[in-house]
Amino acid sequence: MSSLLGCNHLSVRFLEDREPVLQEVTLHINQGEKVLILGPSGSGKSTILSVLAGIIPEHIEAYVSGEVIRRKGTGVLFQNPDTQFCMQHVDEEIAFSLENRKVPREEMDAIIFELLEKVGLTIEPHTPIANLSGGMKQRLALACLLALEPEVLFLDEPTAQLDPAGRKEVFEVMKDTAAGAGQTMIMVEHVLDGCIEWMDRVILFNKKGQIIADGAPAMVVKQYKAEMREAGIWLPQVFPYKWEDIIQNENHSRRRELIKAYERKRTMALEIKPDPILEVNNLTAAYLKENILENIELTVNKGEWIAVIGNNGAGKSTFLKLIAHLKKSQKGDICFHGKDLKKWKDRELYQHLGFVFQNPELQFITQTVFDEISFSGIQYQWEKAAIHKRTTELLQEFGLEPYKNKHPFTLSFGQKRRLSVATMLLLDQDILLLDEPTFGQDAKSSHDLLQVLEKRKKEGTSIIMVTHDMDIVDQYADKVVVLQQKNLVFADQPYSLFSNQELCKRLAIIPPIHYQLIADLKEAEDNQKQRVLSITT
């Protein structure tokens, strides 16, 4: 195979930074290779993609030194799909990509339908893009990229906004696409299960923007597990092992670990003292005269952690916005501290309730990270010394102190997400609403953030969190709420949901792997009994 693209002794420093984000990076990618790039948040993963794709320094200014080998005919899928849309409707956006390939107009409708089906976006083609959920937008962005038929695909965390079922489907699409003759793929991803198995190569960066490992996936995972864990990378749950071996071998170390995790959840006692802080009664919400949520009932107790899950487009973000008084309901009411939400004045309400958006940039209104966190304290006329002390504590707690004088929009996506959460923790609110707070975070940052929230919960703060991560639901939530087809279809302890395989299948939920193991072991045992029974009879 011939070398297709790469770089020699590449260093990149953004104009506002003192230190380079990439240092002396040399790598070469061959035609047809599938390469997975890993590293902690802020390690330059997105930067290396942007350089190889020709975005830096052509469209994003930066000091670049070293040699860069690029290729024409590339396509890029960004972390935030909104940044690459230029049309108003789904079919128009895909048609724009097809026009760049000079596809005849009369052939476009069939191709658009085929691409939407391929990425699992089952919607009317002329749907406004503004109506799509984050996950649906990510699928659309992928469809637009595939429409270009690029020789090289650059994918920057392409499944970050998808639920587990959607992630699995999209990885299958990418796997099929990657199997094409000569198709080169370079992907940054924070979830390895489902993609590392079919990659040819893994490149591991450290936090200084240097390559510390480059080789076959199994080799990198086995030999650099400690470095990957230190870098905050979500380690694959099965790879490099085979699931069949774990099922069949009673002494397999991974099998023992998973059974222990299951038993720990099964025997865990859960005691939430009934102490309602927020009550949702018969809530119905609509968009463009069509209901998105219907007759929702939920009670939130003081110090309770509730996880809200469901497929993309199920109304999870809408549900949080209703509680935060950012969207009006068609019917029903919400009582907060025994008072109808409609009777709260915004200034008073947001002293007691914090909301973290799915897109962190929607929250930012100041020029520096420090000012962004301290803003609420200024608005509520805190003493300057108290504001400075609490802001500094949060900067340290979220690993943002080195960036305190930077503009929020210049941060990496993971850093923006941490900042968006930190801004909501300056005030000691009674309830925190978080829309995908771990999205875009590496494992260490996610763990640290969740520990901060767990501490707040133990101090009496109630948490309602939308997430696609079932392991987080299993580990942290007291209650899990499932939204599906406009309705609240489940509200109980996570164990009650995940241990019920039939219910999970019906709701299209992929439970944490230890629950899957127990289900597969039971199925294997039942099959063995059936075979024995058939022999004896």
In a domain, 471, yes or no: yes
Residue 335's H or E segment, with its range, is strand 331-336
Last residue of a domain, one of 236, 258, 289: 236
Q: Are residues 51 and 141 in the same domain?
A: yes
In a domain, 270, yes or no: no
In a domain, 108, yes or no: yes
Q: Are residues 147 and 220 in the same domain?
A: yes
Tell me how many degrees the CA angle 515-516-519 measures, rounded to the nearest 5. 90
Contacts (Cβ under 8 Å, ≥6 apart) of 447: none
In a domain, 252, yes or no: no
Tell me how far apart the alpha carbons of residues 201 and 33 are, in angstroms, rounded to a whole number: 8
Highest mean pLDDT among 221-235, 363-377, 413-427, 520-534: 363-377
Closest CA to 50 of 89, 18, 90, 10: 10
Q: Are residues 166 and 299 in the same domain?
A: no
371 burial type by CB count under 10 A (0-12 exposed, 13-18 middle, 19+ buried): middle
Mean pLDDT of 177-200: 88
In a domain, 251, yes or no: no
pLDDT value for 304: 96
Q: Are 261 and 270 in contact (CB under 8 A)?
A: no
In a domain, 511, yes or no: no
CA distances from 391 to 91, 114, 362 (A): 46, 51, 20
pLDDT value for 370: 97
What residues make up the domain containing 415? Answer: 276-492
The label of the residue with tokens 């309730």 reads 353
Q: Are 129 and 90 in contact (CB under 8 A)?
A: yes
Tell me how far apart the alpha carbons of residues 436 and 439 are, in angstroms, rounded to a whole number: 5
CATH classification of the domain holding 349: 3.40.50.300
Q: Are residues 15 and 158 in the same domain?
A: yes
Q: Are residues 97 and 164 in the same domain?
A: yes
CA distances from 333 to 308, 324, 338, 480 (A): 19, 12, 11, 21
Q: Please say if the pLDDT value at position 436 is more than 70.
A: yes
Q: What is the mean pLDDT of the chain?
A: 90
pTM comes to 0.78
pLDDT-based confidence at residue 115 (cuts at 50, 70, 90): very high
Tell me how many degrees the CA angle 478-480-481 measures, rounded to the nearest 5. 140
Contacts (Cβ under 8 Å, ≥6 apart) of 274: 301
pLDDT-based confidence at residue 12 (cuts at 50, 70, 90): very high
Mean pLDDT of 411-421: 85
Q: Are residues 426 and 281 in the same domain?
A: yes
Mean pLDDT of 339-362: 91
Q: Which of 102-116, 123-137, 155-169, 216-230 has the lowest mean pLDDT?
A: 155-169
Contacts (Cβ under 8 Å, ≥6 apart) of 521: 247
Q: Are residues 216 and 345 in the same domain?
A: no
- N-to-C CA span, the chain: 59
- DSSP per residue, 259-275: HHHHHHHHS--------
| Total count of domains within the chain | 2
Q: Are 440 and 267 in contact (CB under 8 A)?
A: no
Mean pLDDT of 203-209: 93
Helix (H/G/I), strand (E/B), else coil: 143: helix
In a domain, 520, yes or no: no
Q: Are residues 317 and 466 in the same domain?
A: yes
Q: Are residues 294 and 177 in the same domain?
A: no
In a domain, 518, yes or no: no
Q: Which of 92-96, 179-183, 210-214, 277-281 has the lowest mean pLDDT?
A: 179-183
pLDDT tens digits along 466-509 = 998 999 999 999 999 999 989 999 999 999 999 999 999 999 89
pLDDT-based confidence at residue 165 (cuts at 50, 70, 90): confident
Q: Please say if the pLDDT value at position 537 is more than 80.
A: no
